[in-house]
Amino acid sequence: MTSSLPILQEAPPPPYEPPEHKPGPLETQLDALWTRARGRVYSLAYWRETLRLLRKFNLRMLNTGEIKIAFPYGQVPDCESCVDICCTGPNAIVSLRLRDVAALVDAGRADHITLDRPVLDKAARRDTTWARREADGSVFHQAFPVLTRDRTGTCMLLDDDRKCGAFPAWPLSCARYPYALDLQAKMVFWAKGCASLTVLPSGEAPPRVRALVRAVVDAYNERVKDIILLHVARKELDELGLLKFLDVEKLR
């Protein structure tokens, strides 16, 4: 960990641009629904729902300007030379947001969405990270789908070239890995499972770092959006065909 923790300030779009993901029709409709529904949270018609939400969840969204970085500023994953695969093992359980589901449907990869989460035995749970154990106890573990995995615990979107078969329409948690969020400290830390890294020269580091931190923030904010949408726009989500991928009974 560095002795001082830089705070990532908001800035104009960096010159580094990841491969472009163009939202498909379902993802576009989900965005439009969010635009319509977000104002309902503090409207008189939904005040009871909002009070119930606020008792359970923090609905405040994050921005990159308040995020601290708890490792060298230029440190990024070196995926090209990695000898391991982050898409396999007990911690490689990818929980999906509504946006992830919409993107996978648009990409024709809905067959890789499942509610069949692996049940880990005690020995396997000891090998999982604290973040994995905490996530497994949340409402998202109970109600939201994950990516399919094979008998070895490997993501079934991984192709023969060890590349993601859904990229660039891959899940938000994959896009930000191995950058992970400590919400209480508003700090990005390096996920324990990734041992493949490099430190970029100063001229190259900020754009790549900003892209990864932006993905961390987006992944968190989409979770807040999901909570709100499921409480104030559930009928519309059902009409879009998204609720069939969730265990709605767990959300009651």
> 133-162 pLDDT, tens per residue?
445 556 667 789 999 999 888 999 998 888
Does 1 have pLDDT greater than 60?
A: no
Query: Residue 14 domain-assigned?
Result: no
Supply the pLDDT for residue 19.
Answer: 61
- Among 57-66, 134-143, 190-199, 243-252, the range scoring the smallest mean pLDDT is 134-143
The total number of structural domains that make up the chain: 1
Query: Residue 4 domain-assigned?
Result: no
The DSSP string of 129-180 is: -HHHHHHHTSHHHHHS-EE-B-TTSBBTTB-TTS-BTTTTS--HHHHHTTEE
Query: Residue 51 domain-assigned?
Result: yes
Supply the pLDDT for residue 10.
Answer: 44
Provide the domain limits for residue 38.
25-251
> 207-246 pLDDT, tens per residue?
889 889 999 999 999 999 999 999 899 999 999 999 999 9
Query: Residue 142 domain-assigned?
Result: yes
Query: Residue 15 domain-assigned?
Result: no
Query: Residue 3 domain-assigned?
Result: no
Query: Residue 11 domain-assigned?
Result: no
Of residues 100 and 14, which shows the higher confidence score? 100
> 158-185 pLDDT, tens per residue?
988 888 999 999 999 999 999 999 999 9
Q: pLDDT-derived band of residue 15, with 50, 70 and 90 as boundaries? A: very low
Query: Residue 20 domain-assigned?
Result: no
